[in-house]
């Protein structure tokens, strides 16, 4: 059998091919060149986010009420006159035992009367001097009046006797008292109730003086203290708010790196 010589695929003998490869590699040198590449790096960012939250907030509300009052001092006198009107009715109230409120009003509800009569009504703040007791009573705490009496709220019908000490003391007390309300020529209705209401100014000692009606059935009324308080309560309320939040996100960046490749020597030398 005839032996054939081994050749490369190009028809070049293998020995020669190997020699050419060695010469090629010897003629090439490594060269570095810049290349841009993309990489990712985590960075911190601030984002605004909406969140729900619950908080306790103060809520104001008004609480109202009404309390019936009962007089501590009651008397009627047909001999003395109040502001020139006969048939005097006196009702004294002591509110010391009641709690104080933010707002207080005295309510006088006159009930429908048997007969139509006109009346004079005045309400006094008696806290500075105390109540007027029925004639001829004088409280041990009352000092004997001195000096001239100013205005005579209470006088005596002609031909009748009333202790001058009691009369002077009664007028001094009314002169020093504050007037909370005054209604003259009030017609007491026979068909419907009538309501009178006024600010008590936080007074704890009140006197209601009525003159005019001859029949006790024509001065029938109820007295009460209407009050209100401002109270603050706390309620849970859910709301929303915007808050800043730190988050971490990958950010694409570019950088230049050097890569190495082999190029023929003559390319380096001749710039090809």
pLDDT per residue over 157-171, tens digit each? 888 898 888 998 999
Least trusted range by pLDDT, from 51-55, 155-159, 185-189: 185-189
Q: Residue range 69-87: average pLDDT?
A: 92
pLDDT value of residue 185 = 55
- Checking if the pLDDT of 1 tops 90, the result is no
pLDDT value of residue 75 = 94
**Model confidence band, residue 44 (pLDDT cutoffs 50, 70, 90):** confident
Is 154 exposed, middle or buried (CB count within 10 Å of its CB: 0-12, 13-18, 19+)? buried
pLDDT value of residue 269 = 60
pLDDT per residue over 104-145, tens digit each? 889 998 887 777 777 888 999 998 889 999 999 988 888 766
Q: Which residue segment(s) compose the domain that 3 sits in?
A: 1-272
Determine contact, residues 132/170, Cβ cutoff 8 Å: yes
Strand order in the sheet with 28-69: 28-69, 221-264, 103-110, 194-199
Instruction: For 53-69, give one letter per residue: b (16+ CB within 10 A) or e.
Output: eeeeeeeeeeeeeeeeb
Q: Which two tokens stand for residue 87?
A: 């048939």
| Mean pLDDT, rounded, of the chain | 81
pLDDT value of residue 258 = 79
Q: What count of Cα atoms within 13 Å lies in the side-chain half-sphere of residue 62?
A: 8
Residue 18 CB neighbours (<10 A): 12
The total domain count for the chain is 1
pTM value?
0.64
pLDDT per residue over 199-250, tens digit each? 877 788 999 999 888 877 778 889 999 999 888 888 888 988 898 988 888 9
pLDDT value of residue 18 = 63
């Amino acid at each position: 059998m005839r032996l054939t010589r081994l050749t490369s695929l190009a028809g070049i003998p293998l020995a020669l091919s190997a020699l050419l490869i060695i010469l090629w590699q010897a003629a090439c040198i490594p060269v570095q060149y810049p290349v841009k590449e993309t990489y990712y790096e985590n960075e911190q960012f601030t984002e605004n986010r909406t969140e729900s939250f619950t908080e306790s907030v103060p809520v104001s509300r008004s609480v109202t009420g009404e309390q019936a009052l009962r007089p501590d001092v009651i008397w009627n006198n047909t001999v003395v006159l109040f502001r020139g009107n006969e048939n005097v009715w006196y009702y004294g109230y002591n509110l010391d035992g009641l709690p104080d409120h933010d707002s207080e009003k005295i309510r006088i509800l006159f009930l429908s009367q048997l007969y139509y009569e006109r009346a004079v009504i005045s309400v006094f703040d008696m806290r500075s001097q105390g109540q007027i007791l029925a004639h001829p009573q004088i409280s041990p705490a009352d000092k004997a009046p001195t000096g001239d009496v100013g205005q005579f709220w209470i006088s005596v019908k002609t031909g009748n006797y009333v202790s001058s000490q009691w009369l002077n003391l009664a007028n001094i007390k009314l002169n020093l008292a504050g007037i909370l309300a005054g209604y003259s020529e009030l017609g007491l209705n026979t068909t419907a109730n009538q309501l009178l209401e006024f600010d008590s100014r936080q007074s704890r000692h009140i006197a209601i003086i009525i003159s005019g009606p001859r029949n006790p059935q024509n001065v029938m009324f109820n007295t009460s203290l209407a009050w209100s308080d401002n109270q603050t309560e706390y309620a849970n309320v859910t709301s929303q708010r915007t808050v800043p939040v730190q988050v971490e996100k990958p950010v694409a960046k570019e950088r230049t790196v050097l890569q190495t490749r082999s190029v023929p020597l003559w390319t380096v030398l001749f710039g090809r």
